[in-house]
Amino acid sequence: MKTLKPLLRSLLILMGIIGGLVFFWLFPLKLLSRLAARFGQSAPCPASLAGLVSNPIRRRYMRPVLDRVGIHPGERVLELGPGPGIFTVDAAQRVEPEGRLIAVDIQPEMIAQVEARVREAGLTNVETHVASAYDLPLDDESVDRAFLVTVLPEIPDQARALAELRRVLKLGGLLSITEDFFDPDYPFEFETIRRVEAAGFKLDRRFGNFWVYTLNFRRDAAPGYPE
């Protein structure tokens, strides 16, 4: 019994530390993120923390995301903010053999990780760019669909980024937004819908739940957004 007490005490201390970290991640950090967004100081996840978004637990529960995006063979698909490329290889394989996946990230370090994954997978249909969401290196109406996974809230001027996404999407093209509650920048579903519809998109389908949701929007001609 005497040997069990120190072990139990250590276990309780460890659980307390983990609980404290989880509490800080879910509440104060979210509050700080919202304050930063209010003052236009949102920022992407640093490349040094790429391991947090590519851990096995997250990859497992985020597995349905690309099914919800609905990528078809032969499409030109934009992945904005791929980070370390967790979804890039799978998405590129889904557009084969004639389609193309364009990955755009503002951080060169993230694009380097994407390119390493693509080389390892032996893919030749992936195009990578280091560029801003405000100035996408794509022609008008040149992609069939675009998807962002826990990226939109990290962009300081979301309206400007959505306008640029609308520019590069074909009429009737699909914009897919996925958000994860465990991301510090997590917005509620109604906030995302309001923001994206204000940019001239129309909600088409919704998937998931409070913890992880995906919203698919269509790029339609809308009042104030003439073609």
Question: Tens of pLDDT along 186-207?
Answer: 999 999 999 999 999 999 999 9
C-alpha closest to that of 75 among 60, 93, 63: 93
**Over the stretch 151-178, which tens digit does the pLDDT of each residue have?**
999 999 999 999 999 999 999 999 999 9
CATH of region 43-218, choose from 3.40.640.10, 1.20.140.10, 3.40.50.150, 2.70.70.10: 3.40.50.150
At 76 the pLDDT is 98
Q: State phi, psi for 128 to the nearest 5 degrees.
A: -115, 145
On average, the pLDDT of the chain sits at: 86
How many CA atoms lie less than 13 Å away from 219 in the CB half-sphere?
24
Stretch 83-98: mean pLDDT, rounded?
Answer: 95
Beta strands per DSSP E along the chain:
76-80, 100-105, 126-130, 143-149, 169-180, 202-208, 212-218
In sequence order, what are the residues at sequence separation of 6 or more whose Cβ sits closer than 8 angstroms to the Cβ of residue 89? Answer: 117, 118, 121, 123
> How far is residue 227's CA from residue 163's CA, in Å, rounded to a whole number?
13
pLDDT tens digits, one per residue of 11-30: 666 665 655 555 555 555 55
- The Cα–Cα gap between 37 and 31 comes to 10
Return the residue matching tokens 């030749």: 124
Which is more confidently placed, 32 or 59? 59
Q: What is the pLDDT of residue 223?
A: 46
pLDDT digit string (tens) for 108-151? 999 999 999 999 999 999 999 999 999 999 999 999 999 999 99
CA 28, distance to chain mean position in Å, is 22
Instruction: Write the CB contacts of 59 (distance below 8 Å, at least 6 apart in sequence).
Output: 86
